[in-house]
Structure 1
Amino acid sequence: MEIKTRGMTFEVSESGPADGQPVLLLHGFPQDNREFERIVPTLNDAGLRTYALNQRGCSPGARPRDVDAYRLREAVADAIAVLDELGVERAHVVGHDWGAQIGWLLAAHHPDRVRTLTAVSVPHPRALMLALRVRPSQKARLAYFQVFRSPRAEGLLLGRDAAVLRWMLRPLVAERVQRYVDAAREPGRLTGGLNWYRAFTTDQIAGTGVITVPTTYVWSDRDGVVGLTAALRTADWVSADYQLVAMRGVSHWIPEEAPRELADAVLGRIGV
């Protein structure tokens, strides 16, 4: 389906029983809402209604040119506006990578719109900021941010038949890698995704407070982006019921590498 709001058009994949509790799925980079297609059937079979949103930069009708249009507050406002258009007052939120970051901000600043949060791979922003201060290894893990912010990033990722992009996604099967490579070649698609990095500043997350909605954080021990310190310290920033689910032998791409385990974590958090 397409949802027109905030002067843009967003693609949303909806499925599951019409009367099921709503679940908003928020993808990361360089993926799109298809990263959740292996967990959606399990959620639907459990009676949940899922809405997998293609966020700004990804939906063809939501690719503004201005870098500042990709500040996190804009993506948060998009999610709220989409829920409004769907007539959903409160949703269970599941987010991966940048989608997890938006999930944390939704839960922190709009807890009245979030029933539960399942954040995948990316921890609470304040836990990550702490890890950056005390663990040099965490700073090294995020060194790619500066590469992605470069005006040469598009060429780097797509050059030599997208060799770097393929290397990033190497834990996934070839067919799934190819779909994201093909999507990245769409006009404006890759630039829209990279603009999330170009627009990012730490002041956008510095004020993120304690989460008061039931929360699960899913982390994997082969994640090259987030280390153990940030994962463990996320518990400091949730005052509601909280669980850390640590997966072994799984990389950053949890929804596609470990869909069964992730679906179980989501269902456990929602309580169905």
Structure 2
Amino acid sequence: MTYELDHQDVRTNGITLHVVQCGPATGQLVILLHGFPEFWYGWRHQIQALAAAGYRVLAPDQRGYNRSDKPRGAAAYRLEILGADVLGLLEAAGRETAIVIGHDWGAAVAWWLAANAPERILRVAILNVPHPAVLGHALRRMPRQLVKSWYIFFFQLPWLPEKLFRRHQYRFGRRALRGTSRPGTFTTEDLHRYVAAWSRPGALTGMINWYRAAFRKPGRIGRVGRIRIPVHILWGRRDAFLEPVLAERSLEWWGNGQLTYFEQATHWLHQEEPAAVNKLLLAFLAAEG
């Protein structure tokens, strides 16, 4: 069964998020959290599959992105605030609990929720982002990871990243998608949608402020504790941004989880191998315990 995509503006944590909703109203709530430089559309291959399986799916543009609010200042994008945005979506939906699936920065928010709101989050699926403490350690101690993360440090500069992003007609963003994914993953139409999202007033600064908030106070990135709820990490080994070993090291931070590598996938595994990813997600969501 195919469900309509319902676009709504939802008040949460003092701001308004644009949220795509899909699936039966009474289904178990599943929240999909995108990362940089995407928006809700990054989950286009998962939304209908989850809805058809009976889940009520919410895919927000997270704060700073696309049609959602873009508060001023990097401090408005701290991890605990981003997590509170998601908990506010549960409140707005009238739900006590939800399952969270996150990719890239959305996965970092999912890690925070798993550690800090285990009574509200039933389980989390993590796509290609390690536990924040593992990433923080890697940025200090792993030269290979430090080289891969060069852009994080560039994003700490005020206004210049945004200016260069626009001056070169969003080429950095387009390359971040097409240049690091398997051929054919992102169509020309997909890229038009992304450029339209990046072009919205305040979007570039809002998006980059996620990085500024995390790394201006480096100690914050590791302030996510041990995980006790079920976790499944899905990881494309050919990730251009993150070393695969970080997924294995993240295993040390929870006692009820599993890890699946996709040998031929990149950072964008849920868009490169949607059928396989969806099958694993559905099995994980339906598992007991």
State the TM-score bracket (shorter-chain normalisation).
over 0.9
1:223 paired residue among 219, 239, 258: 239
Query: Is the Cα contact below 8 Å between 1:56 and 1:62 reproduced in 2?
Result: yes
Total equivalences in the alignment: 271
Could you report, residue by residue, the CA deviation over 1:103-124 in whole angstroms, capped at 9, with x for unpaired residues? 0000001101111100111111
- TM-superposed deviation, 1:232: 1.0
Could you report, residue by residue, the CA deviation over 1:44-96 in whole angstroms, capped at 9, with x for unpaired residues? 11111101111110154511112211111111111111111111111110011
- TM-superposed deviation, 1:205: 2.8
Query: Is the Cα contact below 8 Å between 1:131 and 1:229 reproduced in 2?
Result: no
Question: Are positions 1:32 and 2:39 aligned together?
Answer: yes
- TM-superposed deviation, 1:21: 0.9
- TM-superposed deviation, 1:135: 2.4
**Structure 2 residue aligned with 1:238:** 254
Could you report, residue by residue, the CA deviation over 1:209-266 in whole angstroms, capped at 9, with x for unpaired residues? 11111100111111111112211111111112x1111112222122222222221221
Question: Are positions 1:261 and 2:269 aligned together?
Answer: no
Instruction: State which drifts further: 127-136 or 116-125.
Output: 127-136
Instruction: State which drifts further: 227-236 or 4-13.
Output: 4-13
**Structure 2 residue aligned with 1:166:** 174
**Structure 2 residue aligned with 1:187:** 201
Q: Percent identity?
A: 36
- TM-superposed deviation, 1:26: 0.7
Query: Is the Cα contact below 8 Å between 2:67 and 2:197 reproduced in 1?
Result: no
Structure 2 unaligned residues grouped into runs of 5+: 1-7
Q: C-alpha separation between the residues in 2 aligned to 1:37 and 1:193?
A: 20
Q: C-alpha separation between the residues in 2 aligned to 1:232 and 1:125?
A: 13
Structure 1 unaligned residues grouped into runs of 5+: none
2:13 paired residue among 6, 10, 33: 6
Query: Is the Cα contact below 8 Å between 1:148 and 1:198 reproduced in 2?
Result: yes
TM-score of the pair, normalised by structure 1: 0.94
**Structure 1 residue aligned with 2:164:** 156
- TM-superposed deviation, 1:130: 3.4
Please tell me the residue identity of whatever aligns with 1:62: D
Instruction: State which drifts further: 129-138 or 84-93.
Output: 129-138
Question: Are positions 1:203 and 2:219 aligned together?
Answer: yes
Query: Is the Cα contact below 8 Å between 2:134 and 2:250 reproduced in 1?
Result: yes
Instruction: State which drifts further: 110-119 or 147-156.
Output: 147-156
Instruction: State which drifts further: 245-254 or 15-24.
Output: 245-254
Please tell me the residue identity of whatever aligns with 1:215: V
